[in-house]
Amino acid sequence: MGDTTRQWIYRIVPARPGMPADPTPEEVALAQAHFAYLVELKERGILVLAGRTQEDDPVGIAIFDAPDEPVARALMDADPAIAGGLFLATLHPYSVAVARDSLS
């Protein structure tokens, strides 16, 4: 069996309750670096999609391609907001079952 690309999802939540409504300058910088990292993954053809719920205590997700769990975990851990402690993250194997044509 050859090296196949699988999908993964990482789920993030703010490490500090209330952070999205009242971020410190350091948290703002980490959030900006997080966004730039996701854009970089998209440009490299790795990121499928990313976003967050629009609530006071949001939950974010990033769906991306990686061949195996060590690579997926390394990609998640390299997110500056995770590495910097802004977000707590969990990694899960994932598979898009149904999507609009632009996402397939």
| Count of CB atoms situated within 10 Å of the CB of 8 | 24
Q: Hey, CA dihedral for 40, 46, 48, 50, is it positive or negative?
A: negative
Q: What is the pLDDT of residues 29-67, one digit of tens each?
A: 999 999 999 999 999 999 999 999 998 889 999 999 999
CA atoms of 56 and 4, how far apart (whole Å): 38
* Alpha-carbon distance values, 30 to 15, 59, 88 (Å): 12, 16, 13
Which CATH number is associated with domain 6-95?
3.30.70.1060
In this prediction, residue 89 carries a pLDDT of 98
Q: What is the pLDDT of residues 75-87, one digit of tens each?
A: 999 999 999 999 9
pTM of the model: 0.90
Are 31 and 23 spatial neighbours (Cβ–Cβ below 8 Å)? Answer: yes
In this prediction, residue 3 carries a pLDDT of 52
Amino acid at position 43, single letter: E
- Each domain of the chain, given as residue ranges in start order, spans 6-95
Banded pLDDT at 4 (limits 50, 70, 90):
low
